[in-house]
Amino acid sequence: MKGLMNVYYDEEGDFLEISIGKPTKCHAEEVQPGIFLRKDEKTNEIKSVGIVSFKKRSKDMKDIKLDLPIEVNFSSLAA
């Protein structure tokens, strides 16, 4: 995952999506109950992670800790 990170939260639906890079045609795959990965149709590159029932899963909005089904490496990002 490389590029600009976008965070979208739908409070009414309690859905969080974190995406990186330019949008492309993707397919979604549920990797754990309520956790979805969107992958590019051509390259299979992970483009976003979607989390259903985000508030319920995070418990305390001041200290959010989630076990994501992918590895995110911030060390390669330029400041």
- Per DSSP (E only), the strands in 1-79 are 5-10, 15-20, 26-32, 35-40, 46-52
Greatest CA separation for the chain? 38
Q: pLDDT band at residue 1, thresholds of 50, 70 and 90?
A: low
Q: What is the pLDDT at residue 68?
A: 62
pTM: 0.70
Residue 70: band (very low, low, confident or very high) from pLDDT cuts 50, 70, 90: low
Q: What does DSSP assign to residue 42?
A: T
Q: What is the pLDDT of residues 7-65, one digit of tens each?
A: 899 989 999 998 888 889 999 999 989 999 999 999 998 899 999 998 887 766 666 66
